[in-house]
């Protein structure tokens, strides 16, 4: 699962959102490092609907334009949870190895990860 897909699913974990809401939530979750353009977002949303990871919750017309709200399915929530577990496990393994690294490069010391020096 690519990072944008993970973030889209994570943005929907707390409830349905429309496209613009998803892009805002993804930017917030990623601390501004992931920006979704409309074409990328809606292509990803269509793919995620086809895969059964999200579904259209409802549609409404706002200012003459159709606004579609998406929600996470149970299958999508399961995939998101599994991916989050895997990412956490990989991050913990990387941090563990970094703690054993000599303290010279990049200021990465044991204290950078909450361990006492």
Q: The domain 3-100 is classified under which CATH number: 1.20.120.1200, 1.10.30.50, 3.50.50.60, 1.10.10.10?
A: 1.10.10.10
Q: Please give the backbone phi and psi of residue 45, each rounded to the nearest 5 degrees, phi first.
A: -60, -45
pLDDT, tens only, 2-59 = 999 999 999 999 999 999 999 999 999 999 999 999 889 999 999 999 999 999 999 9
pLDDT at 100 (0 to 100): 85
pLDDT tens column, 70-111: 999 999 999 999 999 999 999 999 988 888 877 645 555 545
56 bridge partner residues: 70
Residue 110 CA: distances (Å) to CA of 88, 101, 102, 116: 19, 9, 9, 7
CB 117 within 8 A of CB 111: yes
From residue 16, alpha-carbon distances to 8, 82, 85 in Å are 11, 21, 23
Segments making up each domain of the chain, as ranges? 3-100
């Amino acid at each position: 699962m690519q990072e944008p897909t993970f973030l889209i699913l994570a943005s929907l974990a707390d409830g349905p959102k429309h496209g613009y809401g998803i892009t805002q939530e993804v930017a917030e979750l990623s601390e501004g490092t992931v920006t979704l353009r409309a074409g990328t977002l809606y292509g990803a949303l269509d793919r995620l609907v086809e895969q059964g990871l999200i579904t259209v919750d409802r549609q409404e017309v706002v200012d003459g334009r159709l606004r579609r709200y998406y929600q996470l399915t149970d299958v999508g929530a399961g995939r998101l949870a599994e991916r989050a577990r895997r990412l956490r496990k990989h991050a913990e393994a990387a941090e563990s190895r970094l703690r054993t690294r000599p303290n010279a490069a990049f200021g990465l010391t044991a204290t950078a990860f909450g361990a006492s020096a």
